[in-house]
Amino acid sequence: MRHVVTGGAGFIGSHLIDRLMSTGANKVVCIDNLQTGSKKNIEKWLGNPRFELVEHDVREPFHVEADQVWHLACPASPEQYQKDPIGTAETCFLGTLNTLSIAHRCKARLLFTSTSEIYGDPLVSPQQEGYLGNVNCTGPRACYDEGKRIAETLVFDHARMHGTSVAVARIFNTYGPRMSSSDGRVVTNFISQAIQGKPLTMYGDGLQTRSFCYCSDLVEGLVALMNSGHKGPMNLGNPDEITIRRLARIIRDLVNTQAGLTNKAKPEDDPQRRKPDITVARKMLEWQPVISLENGLKETIADIKAQLETKQVLTKVS
């Protein structure tokens, strides 16, 4: 099959490409403007006749042939998507519309990666797919939260109007190797600070919760959803809930550091709880995460340690 992966040079996108290329038969076209992605994430496939990298911004129309379209393109961490909030909203709307046009023309199936952020700061927990959310449409996170919501609207309207085969995955916090050590997310922040012996920065009291899914588990969920014929929306994530304070302690222990904790003000609209209900995924896909948080963090710590060491070398050379 011929797969098109937008955002394929990013964290999750590159792991998905690894999975698709591993069959030895698929052809993969990676569409990425490299705003937050990196060629390093896909370097092992560069030069492979079954792989093609197209440097392109999905906000602009593009032409490509596909059997399956995986639409992942969008900055994903608050630090990244708030740098250019209008650009983030454009990526969600225009990028999704352009990608849907490709899928419709090719009669391909499209999987759109939405986010748990469409639930906002939820008033119910765990979050089920039927929950309509509690989102501030004028806040600093709205470019991403509302951007993904309008993108979901486009996906389902396209299916209703044009018969496009679609699927929507609502991704909960995912972590693993190839996350940028400076992307501003809690896992990378804590690990980078712990490795460098710096105090781990918690925003608020650290009692807010998240549920962390390892990247390989998520990719298996995405593949299962794409091949299932199910439209969704479907939650994909790990239902094991943990406080940010507890996460900090686990990471300190794994890094073997005595670094302390420090507190800063909680960002506006930062959700207090995040826990997916994955009943639908378990039933429809027979899918659930299998990688423990500790094992996943060990792999992530090793990767970020290597990133930081590389930065130190480059700094000395320059």
Note the pLDDT tens digit of each residue in 140-178.
999 999 999 999 999 999 999 999 999 999 999 999 999
Place 312 in a pLDDT band, splitting at 50, 70 and 90: confident
Q: Which of 32, 134, 140, 146 is nearest to 89 (CA)?
A: 146
Which domain covers residue 284, as residue numbers? 2-175+212-238+276-289
> Which of 67, 72, 61 lies closest to 115, judged by CA?
72
In a domain, 205, yes or no: no
Q: Is residue 123 part of a domain?
A: yes
55 is a domain residue: yes
pLDDT, mean over the chain = 96
Q: What is the mean pLDDT of residues 181-196?
A: 94
Rounded Cα distance between 37 and 31, Å, is 10
Q: How confident is the model at residue 315 (pLDDT cuts 50, 70, 90)?
A: low
Domain count, the chain: 1
Q: Per-residue pLDDT for 316 more than 80? A: no
**Which of the following is catalytic: 81, 119, 131, 144?**
144
Of the candidates 258, 127, 260, 170, the residue with the CA atom closest to the CA atom of residue 206: 260
In a domain, 180, yes or no: no
Q: Rounded to whole angstroms, how far apart are CA atoms 239 and 255?
A: 25
302 in a structural domain = no
Residue 313's pLDDT is 72
Q: Given a cut of 70, is residue 317 above it in pLDDT? A: no
Q: Is the pLDDT of residue 314 over 90?
A: no
Contacts of 283 (CB under 8 A, 6+ apart): none
pLDDT digit string, tens, across residues 37-48: 999 999 999 999
Which CATH number does the domain housing residue 7 bear? 3.40.50.720
| Residue 181 forms part of a structural domain | no
| Residue 144 known to be catalytic | yes
Residue predicted with more confidence, 94 or 182: 94
- pTM, two decimal places: 0.96
182 confidence band (pLDDT: 50, 70, 90): confident
* pLDDT tens sequence across 250-273: 999 999 999 999 999 999 999 999
Identify the helix (H) or strand (E) that includes residue 295. Answer: helix 293-317
Look at residue 318 in the predicted model and tell me its pLDDT.
61
Report yes or no on 56 lying in a domain. Answer: yes
Name beta bridge partners: 70: 5, 111
Q: Do the domain assignments include residue 271?
A: no
